[in-house]
A and B are shown apart, each in its own frame.
Chain A
């Protein structure tokens, strides 16, 4: 059946489009409206994972502070569209500004770290992520910029051409709740990001990123301006992060520094590693799994309550345990991810290369 679909790309696209359009209604009636909210979060995480994948998967720059860009996008949205400063700019103006601010910070973070690689880069980016979070946490004095740990609330919902996403929509006798509306909005942005990421991957820029990841010195000797290409990767990744942040703020209506902890950065990174670093379908799968599984685990709490009468194992503890087990299992059985990229797969599986065969032949000849 998969093969039949592969031969008919148009049919596949139509089926996929219908499936994605019907998904919230199917999920909403089948599992309840709270699961439509989970769908929304899946899309936000897919957006984040696509962005981080550019930095980590393509350009090979390990970024542990990625969530800071998400935070910047969210806070900018809150500053410009909430009662906090009394500003209520429209959604279509604020969102690009948030993405641009995050992109700018991507370059600001990238510039001093140009010479760093691997572990060293990871530590600096981790520090950057924490600086942004702690800044947001403490900037309620001397003047109240972020409202500190209490966070910012009453953020304006998205409103497009008079259609507010804050209230249910009534069309043709059907009531469409806000979570459904946000689903379609997020879907549009995610598809947009997906389109950009796929096109970049298979281009001169994408090859330059791959070359940078493989060998920076050789890349420079091929005429690649490694500084610009690195900053571009940081900026592109951060822009997607900022975009997701703005959408998150509008969707939640409330943000606080707690939403942007190091754990979130690690979670997004885990999605990429789990799914298959550098491979976009893999990254999407990783984001879906790591958002759905924790939600599904909540039922284990209910299950315990109904069968045992009390909660023996806290589901959130179980979540961490399962995460740990899953990651260890991954490293053992599928080190390149669930759907590995062509390159990673080769990297980790390349044992019987022609070169090593030749080496073997040499030894045989000598013996």
Chain B
């Protein structure tokens, strides 16, 4: 399996605090890769470094062989790397459909002139954006709510909408930051099914998650971060028994 995402030696310091210290990992095409670790371990910081919200102090991030570390978020999306956020960041006062249509921005082109003249190409593109957005809402099971405001959706639906919006950019790699946090067991199971459906559809998933049961059942491989360092990586079963991981979560016997 070829590595779709290769993170090498990424370090991120905020002043004197090292949030990430020489983290390396590689995500293979077609797998579901889990990133776990105690609170404050640096998982979201790593996500932000990969997707361009932060620039890493040192280290490289390659997507399909292209260096993306140092690029702006909007450029990284274009390479086929989309993400969702831990604290849902939807466009709250736009409808579900409009949210997904914005997600299509990186795959459409109409500029001011196109918008003003509304020539045939712009109209076709606009129709395509709309159709694509409807399709994605259906895919995540939100068709009936497409004209509801994002802020009026239930929590679980907001999470789904964020995924649909991210999918609109046609990602090869989708990074999900705690996608099932705060959900009940039924909703979790539905999300689990959705993730499998995405993987089977050819999208590689990278997810930060606290729900050990979900991670162990779903992920092909797991990496564990603690205090900004990677302390374990490998198939879920092996990682679970790793003494360093147990120590990080439960504290070690002195």
Contact = CB atoms under 8 A, between A and B. Distances in A.
Contacts of B83: 221
B110 interface: yes
Interface in B97-134: 98, 101-103, 105-108, 110-112, 114-116, 118, 122, 125-126, 129
Nearest to B156: A358
Given A205-B115, A210-B94, A211-B94, 14 more contacts: A199-B118, A200-B112, A203-B114, A203-B115, A205-B110, A208-B105, A211-B102, A217-B73, A218-B91, A221-B89, A222-B77, A354-B152, A355-B152, A355-B155
29 contacts: A195-B116, A199-B115, A203-B118, A203-B122, A204-B105, A205-B110, A207-B94, A207-B98, A207-B102, A207-B105, A208-B105, A215-B89, A215-B91, A217-B89, A218-B85, A218-B90, A220-B52, A220-B72, A220-B73, A220-B74, A221-B51, A221-B89, A222-B105, A232-B112, A346-B151, A350-B149, A354-B152, A354-B154, A355-B152
Q: Name the 8 nearest CB pairs between A and B, nearest first.
A: A223-B106, A203-B115, A223-B77, A214-B91, A218-B89, A220-B73, A353-B152, A211-B102
A316 interface: no
Interface residues on B, range: 35 or more
Contacts of A350: 93, 149, 151-152
Interface residues on A, range: 20 to 34
Nearest to A199: B116
Interface of B: 51-53, 72-74, 77-78, 82-83, 85, 89-94, 98, 101-103, 105-108, 110-112, 114-116, 118, 122, 125-126, 129, 148-149, 151-155, 158, 165, 168-169
A223 B129 contact: no
Interface string A236-253: 100000000000000000
A159 interface: no
Interface in A177-217: 195-196, 199-200, 203-208, 210-211, 214-215, 217
Contacts of B78: 223
Interface of A: 195-196, 199-200, 203-208, 210-211, 214-215, 217-226, 232, 236, 343, 346-347, 350, 353-355, 358
